[in-house]
Structures are given as C-alpha cells and as structure tokens.
Amino acid sequence: MQVNYRELVEALLRETRSAPQAKIHRTVDYIQLVKLLNSVPESQLLVVTFDSQEVSVESSTDNYRGVARLDSVDMPLVVPYLESYFSWFGNACSVYVLGDSVAVFHMNDSFSVTHILRTTLHDISIPARFFAGAVSRLDPQGMLRAMFTVNAYASDCLSLNAVLAILKHVDPASVLMIRRVNRLGFDGAKSMNCYFSKYGRVIRIFMLPLKSRKKNISLPPKTGFLVMGSPCECARILAYGEEHLVLPGVSVSVGTFTHRGLLGEGNIYDTL
C-alpha cells in the first residue's frame, strides 16, 4: 500500500488538534509583550522564530522539483500548526505573537518546555502558501518541512536570529550594544542588570553565546544588547561615556544600536 506523505502529515496534524486551542495574543511592540508576560512563569515559556533557509520543493501539479529559498513566514498563520506540533509534548495555554516573525508559547507546565528544549531546531510541516520567497511554481496546496528555532524565554543567551527577530520590534533608540561582556564572566547579564538599573528600567539583556572549538567547553558571551524602558534612559547611559565600570576593575564598551548595522552584508559576527 502506497502512502501519500502529504495526506499522512495532514492527518497527523488533525489528530494533534484534539487538544484545547490556545488563546492567541497579538502585539507589535516587544516592551508591550514583556508587560503581558509579567505574571507568567518564565519556566513555562518558549520563544519560537523562523530563520531564512533553503528547502527541497516538489510540486504535485507540474512535476517540478528543485530548491526554494524561504525568507520569511507569516507567524500568525503558522501558530496553529506549531501548536499542533507542540501538543505532542504538552498543551499550550496561550500564544503571544510578536509582529510576523516571533511567537512565545505559554505551555501548561515546565516539564513540557524541558522536553521541547532538548532539541533547539524543530523540523515542522507547514503549508507552502504561508511562506514568502518560495519559487513561483511551488504547489500552493503543498506542505513544506521547515526549521524553526526554539529557545527558553528566560535564557540570557538566545540564538542570533532570535535576538534580531525580537529587536525588530523595539525602538532602536531604546537599545544599546554592549561589547567586551566576556570580561564579566558567565554572570555578565546579572552584573549589567544591576549596574544599568541605576539609569532607569532595564527591560531585558540579550547575550550572544560563543562556542569553543573544543567540545563540551562553553565561553562567556562577548556581545550583548541592552533594552531600556525608554530612549531617554539610553541617552543618559551614552552621556556618561563609552566605557562603563560594571564591576571593580572590569569595564564594558557601550554603543548605539541600529538594525541596519546588524543586517548588513558580510558575516554578522565580524561586526560583533
């Protein structure tokens, strides 16, 4: 008996939808999202982002086969499929959608989150029509298997793509780039939170993780992004100067943030 892969996937998705549907909250501002999540246990939250990628394409209408470049996804439309996928691990209470590229899932328990996070990248089947950038001959009724990045919401170190996706929804004047953070050690985020809070409300500090060439060895993050409650608070930090003595004898370098500078040509890590 020959099994049609598309029909099998669709049947599987229908089966997992037996779980209660989560309530969806939509927002276009990250600081507003933080306020919505204030009363939610961070251990029950997952951040899901989509990274630009190439996928194999096979059209059932004109026998087309090739590779499509998927540059973006309409996250609000994809959420039900992500919810179906995560229902294998546990049910979601609510889903908070930030713009069109980030979704934060509030799971029923932290146990489900732990199991989901055992794999950072998740290969999920989504209808092709929900993606932008696919080849024009792609079957609009087809399914594509694309990779989604999943991070713990409470983690200091998110993937680079996750950080960029979130910062797209923050006023650049409220964000500062912090360099030489590795001087502060592995507790750099806590040290900076304590230090910069004297200038105003620290919304979040994002750190970019570094990996050693040696296996099973982690390194302190070298670069971070500081999100303050308002542009005025960032201006006060910048007015103090570029160098800030966060710990006795240990300083970091503070600079302005621009989305364009991060998303320019070349390897982004070369600029960090």
Would you list the DSSP string of 197-212?
A: GGGS-EEEEEEEEEE-
Residue 165 confidence (pLDDT): 87
Average of per-residue pLDDT values in the chain? 81
Indicate the range of 21-25, 53-57, 267-271 predicted with least confidence.
267-271
User: For residue 161, is it within any domain?
Assistant: no
Q: In the predicted model, is pLDDT for residue 157 greater than 90?
A: no
pTM: 0.79
Least confident of 46-50, 181-185, 214-218: 214-218
Q: How confident is the model at residue 268 (pLDDT cuts 50, 70, 90)?
A: very low
**Domain boundary residue among 130, 154, 178?**
154
pLDDT of res. 106: 95
Buried/exposed code over 70-94 (b: 16+ C-beta within 10 A; e: otherwise): beebebeebbbbbbbbbbebbebeb
**One domain for residues 89 and 51:** yes
Rounded Cα distance between 43 and 107, Å, is 9
Which has more confidence, 66 or 113? 113
Q: Are 141 and 112 in contact, with CB atoms under 8 Å apart?
A: no
Question: What's the domain count of the chain?
Answer: 2
Give SS3 for 250.
Answer: strand
Q: What is the spatial order of strands in the sheet that 23-27 belongs to?
A: 23-27, 92-98, 102-107, 45-50, 143-152, 121-127
In DSSP notation, 109-173 reads: -HHHHHHHTTSSEEEEEEEGGGEES--TTS-TT-EEEEEEEEEETT-SB--HHHHHHHHTTS-GG
Count the neighbouring beta carbons within 10 Å of the beta carbon of residue 166: 23
200-248 pLDDT tens trace: 999 999 988 776 556 666 778 889 999 999 999 999 999 999 999 999 9
136 and 182 both lie in a single domain: no
Write out pLDDT tens, residues 75-98. 888 898 899 889 888 889 999 999
Q: Is the pLDDT of residue 261 over 50?
A: no
Q: What is the pLDDT of residue 271?
A: 41
Tokens 């930030």 appear where?
Answer: 98
DSSP character at residue 59? -
**Residue pointed to by tokens 């950080």:** 163
Residue 182 is part of which domain span? 170-270
Domain termination residue (choose one: 129, 154, 179): 154
CA atoms within 13 A on the CB side of 30: 25
252 in a domain, yes or no? yes
